[in-house]
Structure 1
Amino acid sequence: MTLIRRETARDHAAVHALQDAAFATAPHASGKEADLVDALRATADWDPRFSLVAEVDGEVAGHVVSTYGRLAGERALGLGPIGVAPALHGKGIGSALMHAALGAADAANEPAVLLLGDPAYYGRFGFVPASAHGVQATDPTWGDYFQIRTLAAWREDLCGAYAYSPPFDEMG
């Protein structure tokens, strides 16, 4: 049975190890995803409501975090990284984390969640190219891989360039 819950300080080492393992062989991974999570925790863009772990048999099996970036002069959530223990891929843990992350954002009255990822995968969670809502990536080469999932509090005036929390750029 998988339990999705908020990350606690006791989970930090396990989350770091999990993100390292999850991205060790992932295409397009920087290899710095675990360090990115650690760096994000130290920013004002971190909100513990949006850092979730999947627990299987009492062990951290997956993790997702959303942190605040900036859109139209307002804070807006950017999702990532999301990782699942390699031995548990294909068991629905990543999907459960995505649904929980979107539910937490919507319940907190956030207008949207943005991410950089494969449209074929994230489309099933309602993500569409961000450009469809007038939102541009800081890097135009991202194209349709830069996506948005609007939520109940979405407003059409939230448009323009989106900037992730500074550690995303610092980790490169």
Structure 2
Amino acid sequence: MDITTAREKPDDWWEVEALFDTCFAPGRTALSSYRLRDDVPPIANLCLVARDSYGQVAGAIRNWPVRVGGRDAVLLGPVAVHPTHQGEGIAALLIWRCLEVAAKAGHPRILLVGDAPYYGRFGFQRLEGVQMPPPTNPDRVLGIALRKDGWDGVVGPVTRAAD
């Protein structure tokens, strides 16, 4: 696999949006997690693009600032891989890279909405007492501490960082 990753640039925006539209339902922006992103810019150094040897976008990941019970957190996602590259480990590469960059940048915690069996391999675990906007299934609200005790005492509703 000849894949390179780099920080998403403004010129990548349309390609990344097209990838997300390809990989997710057209109504993806109607999901409750998107209300947390409305009018809030993503965390630029945690938005990555993976390109194949032809320079085509093979995958992308974005991350957003949120608040959990009034404390800062990172909301991971969306992450997507083009159908022609699925099964090559690109999503895992992007997730690991985001975890590394976020930890180095001093972010204490990351959460996401996803499948525990998949995200568990990265260290994500179900978060008790953290409430995503409805109708999110609480069993799919997962988090990882990027520093010791990063989630200790952090409970409550997940809100937009701008609120």
TM-score range, shorter chain: 0.7 to 0.9
Are residues 1:11 and 2:12 paired?
Answer: yes
CA distance 1:75–1:114, change in 2 (3 Å): same
Q: Secondary structure at the match of 2:15?
A: helix
State the partner residue of 1:135: 130
1:47 deviates by: 2.0
> Which AA in structure 1 matches 2:47?
S
> Which AA in structure 2 matches 1:143?
P
Taking the aligned partners of 2:45 and 2:90, their CA distance within structure 1 comes to 19
CA distance 1:87–1:165, change in 2 (3 Å): farther
Q: Of 121, 124, 127, which aligns to 2:121?
A: 124
Unaligned runs of 5+ in 1: 167-172
Q: Secondary structure at the match of 1:90?
A: coil
Contact 1:78–1:164 (Cα < 8 Å) also in 2? no
State the partner residue of 1:149: 144
Offset from partner CA, 1:78-117 (integer Å, 9 cap, x none): 0111110011100010110110111111111111110001
> Which AA in structure 2 matches 1:53?
V
CA RMSD of aligned residues (A): 2.6
Q: Of 44, 47, 52, which aligns to 1:48?
A: 44
Unaligned runs of 5+ in 2: none
CA distance 1:164–1:91, change in 2 (3 Å): farther
CA distance 1:164–1:87, change in 2 (3 Å): farther
> Which AA in structure 2 matches 1:22?
C
Identical amino acids, percent of aligned pairs: 33
Taking the aligned partners of 2:51 and 2:90, their CA distance within structure 1 comes to 9
CA distance 1:41–1:143, change in 2 (3 Å): closer
Q: What does residue range 54-133 of structure 1 map to in structure 2 within 5 Å?
A: 54-57=50-53, 58-131=55-128
1:143 deviates by: 2.0
Q: Normalising to structure 2: TM-score of the pair? A: 0.83
Which structure dedicates a bigger proportion of its chain to helix? 1
CA distance 1:75–1:16, change in 2 (3 Å): same
State the partner residue of 1:170: none
Q: Normalising to structure 1: TM-score of the pair? A: 0.79
